[in-house]
């Protein structure tokens, strides 16, 4: 049986303190004599080593509560000493000069001030701290996102149990080192903690474990904008995310912690820890969820506006696609293009009248040349009747195009918001809202359960010595205590509601957008493209007929004037040819004007047909924004990750609690263990539900 652990003094210098010193305070370059409060403890800077030739920056601090000494190395802050002369040497087998200087400084502090109990550092400073740790096994070393050591420094046969390295979940350096297979150059234990956020803008803060400066005295970053729904903060300080035993303060990583002898005092300490630590952390997690809910509710309120904006965007993009003002309104009534068609019909009627007049002129040639040439005129009916029919049909086709586009805008676009699985008119918002309602209900239950759990543990502590006596007579006298345990135990057993939502997690939106965009694109192409083809065909046919009319006018004119010597003679000595030319010119005018309009319409229609597929492809980004604003969706994910991380840490904490309780026997402890398991189970259920909103 392993020995039980002593309860550590809260005043001692723990991992949480050392991590905060390494990731935040080290970079502040305090002067000697500066006193800083960390986790309720006072630390004084008793020595500094800044701006040395090697690039080494370091300070020695004293825990004023316990007189413990710690050496704190500063990470990469100097271009030459840190980056050029040191970091670039780490992949090699050569120990950098700065690392040698770090070991020398450690020895110097010990010689001048006494025994150093701990060493810490972040990044390059973490490598310096580890270099000290592998040569001083009695010194506690704690690093945050350390750089690797040069090759050959680590003895693969040693465990280096005095060294603990904490990796932030989103740290680029440690991820890169592991990817490049340099993880064997990190001595001792490596534990991943849940601090930081998955935002590129926070890459430096993720690496240091802390933001550049505190906000309202806390290590947190701002999410969203003030005054907007969902605005809030996420606590990112690395030490906040190091899970420690309620009893000893020891980190709960690397397997089961050393056993503690459960007694009345220990149970009261557990009850106090639940009230002061666990509920406080859960309350922070609940705040993150509430911010997410605010964002979802705001998107819900904006539902009609989001639909309207998407409809207006489709209308604008489609109408602008033609690149011609004539097509403005084509998605509503098509009134502009229809007015142009009416103008074309009027011009066609005018052209027909002018051609009939030209025919009358052609047929009024002098008697002297009648016997020499046959009558020549324009076949008005064969040219203008089909053209008029095309124009009338074109008007109908434009109505059809406008009606079809309007159907897409009014019916198909609102339909893309609907859930394809659940009964939500606003798919993503509706499903998130329904999921959060369940989480909120479960969160209230867990919060209430934690309160009752703390009270129950206090009750168990109070009657601990009574209900666990072997004497039946003693138990009989204290039977009321046993009844109290049974009754309160039943109240603490809480069942949480399952959620059928977010089965695809946060990919829910991406999958929905992909599906509805594909549907809208295919439907739009199926509906609109055939109409566009018909309209373009009609315009080309009209262009052909107008060209035929111009050709016929020119041919008839030439024959009438220059068809034979007699005609040519009379053209010289009479005004016959002038009459023909004038009539022909007048006949061509409306036709040429029509040609110009038709050509513009046909070119615009070509643009529509060519550009429609690309426009529909690009429309996906607008759908994505309308379904749920990406920045807000991202903020929800950040809040969910932060909340899930806390519940993950609470799961680790309760795992330790249940392991400690399970090592003891007795009615009271059995009751406490059962309740602890119930709380632990519910924390895991709630965490799983929150997890669905993280990936």
pLDDT in tens, 239-259: 999 999 988 888 998 766 778
Comparing CA positions, the residue from 341, 346, 334 lying closest to residue 393 is 341
| Phi, then psi, of 373 in degrees rounded to 5 | -135, 155
Question: How much of the chain exceeds pLDDT 90, in percent?
Answer: 58
Residue 492 lies in a domain: no
Two structure tokens written together for 62? 């004293």
Over pLDDT 70: what percentage of the chain?
Answer: 87
More confident: 185 or 558: 185
The size of the chain, in residues, is 695
pLDDT, tens digit, 9 for 90 and up, residues 368-416: 444 444 455 667 777 888 989 999 999 999 999 999 999 999 999 999 9
Mean pLDDT of the chain: 86
pLDDT band at 334 (very low <50, low <70, confident <90, very high): confident
Q: Is the pLDDT of residue 209 over 90?
A: yes
Q: Are 210 and 220 in contact (CB under 8 A)?
A: no
Domain enclosing residue 206, as ranges: 15-260
Nearest to 532 by CA among 617, 597, 602: 602
**CATH assignment of the domain containing 70:** 3.40.50
Q: 268-283 pLDDT, tens per residue? A: 999 999 988 899 999 9
For residue 460, the model assigns a pLDDT of 82
Query: What pLDDT is stored for residue 560 in this prediction?
Result: 64
> Contacts for 556-563 with beta carbons within 8 Å, 24 or more apart?
556/358, 556/362, 556/376, 556/377, 556/378, 556/584, 557/358, 557/581, 557/584, 559/373, 559/376, 560/362, 560/365, 560/373, 560/376, 563/373, 563/376
Could you tell me if residue 68 is inside a domain? yes
- 211 and 69 in a common domain: yes
CA atoms of 405 and 160, how far apart (whole Å) = 71
The three-state secondary structure class of 293 is helix
Chain segment 98-133, per-residue pLDDT in tens? 899 999 999 999 999 999 999 999 999 999 999 999
In a domain, 256, yes or no: yes
Q: Determine the Cα–Cα distance for residues 209 and 26; give it in Å rounded to an integer.
A: 12
Residues 6+ apart with CB under 8 A from 664: 262
Rounded CA-CA distance 543/297 in Å is 56
Q: Are residues 348 and 212 in the same domain?
A: no
Structure confidence at residue 647 (pLDDT): 94
Distance CA 392, CA 342 (A): 9
pLDDT at 81: 47
Judge whether 167 and 183 are in contact, CB under 8 Å.
no
Nearest of 568, 555, 590 to residue 378 by alpha carbon:
555
Query: What is the full DSSP assignment across 501-547?
Result: --TTTTHHHHHHHHHHHHHHHHHHHHHHHHHHHHHHHHHHHHHHHHH
- The verdict on 335 and 251 lying in the same domain is no
Beta bridge partners of 583: none
Residues 347 and 244 in one domain: no
Whether residue 237 is found in the same domain as residue 385: no
Residue 213: which region, alpha, beta or left (left: phi > 0; alpha: psi -120 to 50)? beta
| pLDDT beyond 50 at 438 | yes
What integer is the mean pLDDT of 173-186? 88
387: tokens are 């053209």
Pick the range with the lowest mean pLDDT from 90-94, 261-265, 308-312, 509-513.
90-94
Q: Same structural domain for residues 328 and 247?
A: no
Residue 441 has pLDDT above 60, yes or no: yes
Task: Give the number of other CB atoms < 10 A from CB of residue 254.
Answer: 11
Residues 24-39: tens digit of each pLDDT: 999 999 999 999 999 8
Taking residues 218-229, report their average pLDDT.
Answer: 94
Distance CA 305, CA 6 (A): 62
Choose one of 597, 618, 639: the last residue of a domain: 618
Domain boundary (582, 602, 618) is at 618
pLDDT score for 9: 59
Residue 74 lies in a domain: yes
95 falls within a domain:
yes
- For tokens 């580890």, what's the residue? 130
> Is residue 67 predicted with pLDDT exceeding 90?
yes
Q: Would you say 568 and 374 are in contact if contact means Cβ atoms under 8 Å apart?
A: no
Predicted pLDDT of residue 8: 47
Query: What pLDDT does 87 receive?
Result: 58
161 Cβ contact list (under 8 Å, min separation 6) = 188, 189
Q: Which H or E run contains 640?
A: helix 630-662
Dihedral-angle region of residue 365 (phi above 0 means left; psi in -120 to 50 means alpha; beta otherwise): beta
Task: Answer yes or no: is pLDDT of 151 > 90.
Answer: no
Q: What is the pLDDT of residue 256?
A: 63
SS3 string, 54-77, reads CCCCEEEEEECCCCCEEEEECCCC
Asked if residue 420 is part of any domain, the answer here is: no
Residue 482 — pLDDT band, cuts 50, 70, 90? low
Report the DSSP beta bridge partners of residue 234.
Answer: 221
Q: Greater confidence, 446 or 94?
A: 446
Element (H, E) at 114: none
Residues 381 and 235 in one domain: no
Q: Tell me if 191 is assigned to some domain.
A: yes
Q: Which one is predicted more confidently, 79 or 356?
A: 356
**Residue 492 scores a pLDDT above 50:** yes
Residue 279 lies in a domain: no
- What is the tally of structural domains in the chain? 2
Helix (H, G, I), strand (E, B) or coil at 254: coil
Which of 153, 152, 238, 236 shows the shortest CA–CA distance to 191?
Answer: 238
CA 298, 303, 305, 311 torsion-angle sign: positive
Question: Residue 95 pLDDT > 60, yes or no?
Answer: yes
39 and 168 in a common domain: yes
| Of the candidates 392, 372, 375, the residue with the CA atom closest to the CA atom of residue 384 | 392
- Per DSSP, helices labelled H in 93-246 are 97-113, 124-135, 172-179, 203-208
Q: Average pLDDT for residues 321-347, to the nearest whole number?
A: 87
CB atoms inside a 10 Å sphere around CB 396: 12
Q: Can you give the pLDDT at residue 293?
A: 96
Assess whether 537 and 598 both reside in one domain.
Answer: yes
Q: How far apart are CA 545 and CA 115, in angstroms?
A: 104
- With vertex at residue 330, the alpha carbon angle to CA 327 and CA 335, rounded to the nearest 5 degrees, is 85
In the prediction, which pLDDT does 576 show?
66
Angle between helices 97-113 and 124-135 (to 10 degrees): 60
Residues 39 and 160 in one domain: yes
Instruction: Name the one residue in this structure whose structure tokens are 């993720």.
Output: 206
Does an H or E element contain 184, and which? none
SS3 call for 180:
coil
Structure-token pair, residue 384: 């203008």
Query: For 311-326, how does the pLDDT look when each residue is reduced to its tens digit (9 = 90+)?
Result: 999 999 998 988 888 8
> What is the average pLDDT across 466-489?
50
Task: Dig out the tokens for 351 from the structure.
Answer: 């052209």
Give the bridge partners for 73, in sequence order: 58
Based on the fold, state whether residues 250 and 149 are members of the same structural domain: yes
Tokens 């609470």 sit on residue: 650
Element (H, E) at 433: helix 427-467
DSSP letter at 424 equals -
Would you say the C-alpha torsion 240, 246, 251, 256 has a positive or negative sign?
negative
Given a contact cutoff of 8 angstroms between Cβ atoms, the answer to whether 494 and 682 are in contact is: yes
DSSP 125-163: HHHHHHHHHHH-TTSEEEEEEEPPPPTT-S-TT---TTE
Cβ atoms of 164 and 143 within 8 Å: the answer is: yes
pTM of the prediction? Answer: 0.85
The rounded distance, in Å, linking the Cα atoms of 106 and 60 is: 9
> What is the DSSP-derived secondary structure letter of residue 183?
G
Cα gap 426→314, rounded to integer Å: 19
Under 8 Å CB-to-CB from 129, ≥6 apart: which residues? 22, 71, 73, 102, 119, 120, 121, 141, 142, 143, 146
Q: Which of 192, 227, 260 is the last residue of a domain?
A: 260
Query: Do residues 629 and 299 make contact, with C-beta atoms less than 8 angstroms apart?
Result: yes
**Residue 165 in this model has a pLDDT that exceeds 70:** yes
pLDDT band of 490, cuts 50, 70, 90: low
What pLDDT shows up at residue 669?
Answer: 78
User: Which pLDDT belongs to residue 382?
Assistant: 79
List pLDDT tens digits, range 552-599. 888 777 766 665 554 555 455 456 677 878 888 888 899 999 999 999
Cα separation, 483 vs 476, in Å, equals: 11
**Same-domain pairing of 24 and 127:** yes
CB 560 within 8 A of CB 362: yes
- What does the pLDDT read at residue 159? 92
Greater model confidence, 330 or 223: 223
Q: What is the mean pLDDT of residues 48-68?
A: 92
């Amino acid at each position: 049986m392993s020995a039980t652990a002593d309860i550590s003094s809260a005043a001692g210098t723990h991992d949480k303190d050392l991590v905060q010193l390494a990731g935040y305070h080290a970079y502040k370059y305090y002067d000697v004599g500066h006193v800083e409060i960390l986790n309720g403890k006072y630390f004084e800077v008793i020595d500094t080593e800044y701006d040395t030739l090697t690039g080494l920056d370091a300070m020695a601090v004293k825990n004023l509560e316990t007189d413990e000494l710690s050496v704190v190395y500063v990470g990469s802050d100097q271009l030459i000493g840190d980056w050029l002369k040191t970091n670039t040497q780490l992949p090699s087998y050569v120990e950098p000069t700065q690392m040698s200087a770090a070991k020398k400084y450690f020895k110097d502090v010990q010689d001048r001030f006494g025994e150093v109990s701990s060493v810490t550092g972040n990044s390059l400073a973490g490598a310096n701290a580890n270099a000290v740790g592998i040569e001083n096994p009695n010194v506690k070393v704690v690093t945050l996102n350390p750089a690797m050591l040069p090759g050959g420094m680590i003895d693969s046969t040693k465990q280096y149990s005095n060294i603990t390295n904490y990796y932030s979940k989103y740290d680029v350096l440690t991820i890169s080192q592991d990817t490049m297979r340099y993880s064997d150059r990190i001595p001792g234990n490596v534990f991943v903690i849940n601090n930081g956020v998955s935002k590129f803008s926070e890459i430096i803060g993720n690496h240091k474990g802390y933001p550049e400066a505190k906000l309202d005295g806390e290590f947190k970053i701002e999410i969203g904008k003030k005054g907007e729904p969902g605005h809030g903060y996420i606590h990112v300080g690395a030490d906040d995310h190091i899970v420690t035993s309620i009893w000893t303060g020891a980190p709960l990583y690397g397997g089961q912690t050393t056993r503690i002898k459960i007694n009345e005092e220990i149970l009261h300490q557990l009850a106090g820890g639940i009230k002061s630590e666990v509920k406080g952390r859960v309350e922070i997690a609940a705040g993150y969820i509430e911010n997410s809910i605010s964002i979802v509710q705001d998107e819900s309120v904006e539902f009609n506006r989001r639909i309207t904006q998407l409809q207006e965007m489709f209308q604008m993009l489609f109408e602008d696609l033609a690149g011609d003002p004539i097509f403005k309104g084509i998605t509503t009534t098509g009134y502009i293009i229809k007015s142009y068609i009416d103008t074309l019909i009027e011009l066609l009627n005018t052209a027909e009248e002018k051609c009939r007049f030209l025919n009358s002129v052609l047929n009024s040639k002098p008697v002297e040349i009648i016997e020499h040439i046959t009558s020549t005129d324009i076949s008005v009916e064969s040219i203008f009747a089909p053209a008029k029919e095309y124009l009338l049909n074109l008007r109908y086709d434009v109505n059809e195009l406008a009606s079809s586009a309007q159907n897409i805008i009014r019916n198909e676009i609102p339909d893309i918001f609907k859930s394809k699985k659940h009964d939500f008119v606003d798919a993503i918002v509706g499903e998130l809202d329904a999921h959060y309602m369940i989480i909120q209900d479960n969160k209230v239950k867990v919060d209430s359960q934690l309160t009752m759990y703390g009270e129950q543990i206090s009750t168990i502590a109070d009657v601990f010595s009574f209900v666990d006596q072997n004497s039946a007579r003693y138990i009989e006298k204290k039977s009321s205590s046993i009844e109290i345990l049974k009754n309160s135990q039943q109240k603490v057993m809480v069942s949480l509601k399952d959620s059928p939502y977010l089965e695809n997690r946060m990919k829910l939106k991406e999958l929905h957008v992909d599906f509805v965009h594909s549907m809208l694109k295919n439907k739009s192409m199926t509906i609109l493209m055939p109409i566009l083809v018909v309209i373009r065909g009609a315009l080309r046919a009209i262009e052909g007929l107008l060209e035929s009319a111009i050709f016929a006018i020119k041919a008839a004119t030439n024959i009438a004037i220059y068809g034979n010597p007699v005609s040519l003679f009379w053209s010289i000595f009479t005004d016959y040819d002038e009459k023909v030319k004038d009539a022909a010119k007048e006949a061509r005018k409306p036709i040429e004007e029509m040609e110009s309009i038709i050509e513009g319409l046909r070119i615009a229609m070509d643009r529509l047909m060519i550009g429609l597929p690309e426009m529909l492809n690009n429309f996906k980004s607008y759908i994505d924004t309308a379904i749920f604003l990406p920045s807000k969706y991202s903020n929800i994910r950040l809040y969910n990750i932060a909340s899930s991380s806390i519940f993950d840490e609470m799961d680790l904490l309760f795992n330790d609690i249940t392991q400690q309780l399970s090592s003891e026997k007795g009615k009271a402890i059995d009751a406490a263990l059962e309740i602890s398991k119930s709380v632990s189970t519910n924390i895991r259920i709630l965490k799983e539900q929150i997890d669905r909103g993280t990936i």
